Amino acid sequence: MSKKSLLRAYGAEFSDDHQVRLLQGAQELFPALIEAMDAALSDIQFETYIFDFTGAGADVAVALMRAAQRGVRTQLVVDGVGTGALPAAWAERLRAAGVQYRVYSPLGTLGLLLPHRWRRLHRKLCVVDGCVLFCGGINVLDDFHDPNRGTLDAPRFDFAVRATGSLVAMASETMDQLWWRMQAVQGVRERRLPEALQALRAASAAQHAARAAEDAAPPSMRAALVLRDNVRHRSRIEKAYRRAIGAARHEVIIANAYFMPGGKLRRALVMAARRGVRVRLLLQGRYEYFMQYHAARPVYGALLAAGVEIYEYAPSFLHAKVAVIDARGDHPWATVGSSNLDPLSLLLAREANVVVEDAAFAADLRQRLVHAMQHAGRRMDPARYAGRPLRQRVLDRVAYGLMRLALWVTGKTY
C-alpha cells in the first residue's frame, strides 16, 4: 500500500499548507481564542465537553456574547454529561446576546444507565470565520479551578493548537454536520417535520462545503485533522497512533490523562521498546476518578517489563492528550487533541486530534513534555509497582474488571 493510501486509510489527509502553533493550558489558549473571536466577521463554531463559567471560563463566554451582539453567527454545542444544562443565568445571557447553543445527548430520566448514552461529545473545537481552528484537550475551564475540588494549587497540564490551512475546512464541515443533525433530531421530536427535513438537507450540503483558509503567515507545515466518531471514523485516531509508534526509530513520548490502551496499542508500545526505541509515558499521578485511576494500573506491568518508562504527573491534574515521536529524527510526528487512550475515547466518544509532521513543532512539544517529566513527574519503579499494597491491587483489578464489563455491555472488543 502506498504512503498516500495508508494516510487515507487512517483518516489523515496530510497537506503542507498549514501554520500550527502549540498552546499550553487555558492561560495560553483562552487569550488566543478570545482574540480570534473578537476579530470574527461572519461566524464562530464552538464545541466543548465542559463549559464552566468560573474564572477565565466566563471570559470566553463574554467573548462569545460580544461576537453575537455585533451580528456574528455564533453556534455553541456542549456535552450533556460534561456540561449538562447551562446555568440558568448564563443561559439567559447567551440567548439574549444571540448565541445559539445546543446540548449534545442530554441524559434524560435514566441517564447513564442506558449504554447508548455513553457516547459523548468529547472533542474541543472552535472555528472562527472558516479560517482559524482551535483544537486540543482543553475544556472551557479555568486552569486553577476544578468543579469537584475547587481551587487548584497548580494549573492543569493540558495542550491545544491554533491552526490555519486546509484542515480548518474539514473541522468546520464536521461541526456543521453535527449542528444540523442535532436540529433535525429536535425537529422530529417536536414533530416539525418540514424544518427537520430542511435541516437534513443543510447537513448534506455542509458535507460538500469548503471554506477558504487565510492567514498572514506563510503556510508551510504538514498537518492533518484526524476524527473519531461512531459511523465512518471509528478507529482512525488509534490507528494513527499505532502507525506512528510502529514507524518510530528513536523515541516515543506520550502524555495522556486517562490511559488504558487496548491490546494492539499496548503491543505496539512493547515492540517499540524491545527494538530499542526509548518509550516514555507521562500519566495521571493524582487521584481524580475511581475507574480511570485504578483501571489503568493493571496494564503497567507488561509495559514496565519491556523497558517502557512511566512517569506520574504530581503537581496538579494532568489532562493532556498529546504525543511526539522521533522529534529529532528525519520523520518527526506529533499529535495534540481530545482523545484519551482509553475505551471511552477510542470506542465511544466523538474526538478530534491534529497531527503535525514538522520538526520545529515536534521539538517544542517534546521540550515541554521532557521538562514536565524531569521536574514534575515521579518515575514509577518496577519493583515498587510489583510490591504495591494488596488493597490497591484489589481496587485496580476491580476497576479493570468493571471497565471490561462495560465494554461487553456495549458489544465492543478492545
Residues whose CB is less than 8 angstroms from the CB of residue 15 and which lie 6 or more positions away in sequence, other chains included: 165, 166, 167, 222, 223, 224
- Look up residue 269 and give its amino acid: L
Number of C-beta neighbours around residue 333 at 10 A:
23
Catalytic residue among 52, 79, 124, 142: 124
Which of 323, 315, 320 is closest to 286 using CA atoms? 315
| Cell triple for 387 | 510490591
From the candidates 52, 319, 342, 358, which is the catalytic residue?
Answer: 319
- Of 52, 79, 129, 229, the catalytic one is 129
- Residue 145 annotated as catalytic: no
First to last CA, the chain: 25
Distance from C-alpha of 73 to C-alpha of 262, rounded to nearest angstrom:
41
Active site (annotated) includes residue 122: yes
Q: Which of 122, 145, 233, 294 is catalytic?
A: 122
Residue 143 annotated to the active site? no
Q: Which of 321, 342, 358, 396 is catalytic?
A: 321
Strand 251-256 relative to strand 221-228, pairing: unpaired
**Three state DSSP letters for 201-266:** HHHHHHHCCCCCCCCCCCCCEEEEEEEECCCCCCCHHHHHHHHHHHHCCCEEEEEECCECCCHHHH
Q: From the candidates 52, 326, 342, 396, which is the catalytic residue?
A: 326
129 is catalytic: yes
Which of the residues are catalytic? 122, 124, 129, 319, 321, 326
